[in-house]
Amino acid sequence: MAEEIIAPLSGKIMAINITVGQEVEEDEEAVIIEAMKMETSIYVPCDGKIAEIKVKVGDEVEEDDVLAVIE
């Protein structure tokens, strides 16, 4: 079953530390979002393999947007 990495807040994507096909572990840093001049790390919610990345560096995201899919 697929899991999703969800944006916990609105902001701009500053870095993506995962790639499609990469094996990841729970609590690994996946994405960094900047909001109000503060950077927030978004972590992988479970072990798995990155199936899809739905954002790129520079994208503006809203709270609860799907950033990536883990299978």
**Model confidence pLDDT, tens digit, residues 21-65:** 999 999 999 999 999 999 999 999 999 999 999 999 999 999 999
Residue 55: predicted pLDDT: 98
- What's the domain range around 44? 3-70
pTM equals 0.94
- The structural domain count of the chain equals 1
CATH of residue 19: 2.40.50.100
Q: Looking at the predicted structure, is the pLDDT value of residue 1 above 90?
A: no
Residue 44: predicted pLDDT: 97
Q: How far is CA 10 from CA 25, 26, 33, 60, in A?
A: 25, 23, 8, 7
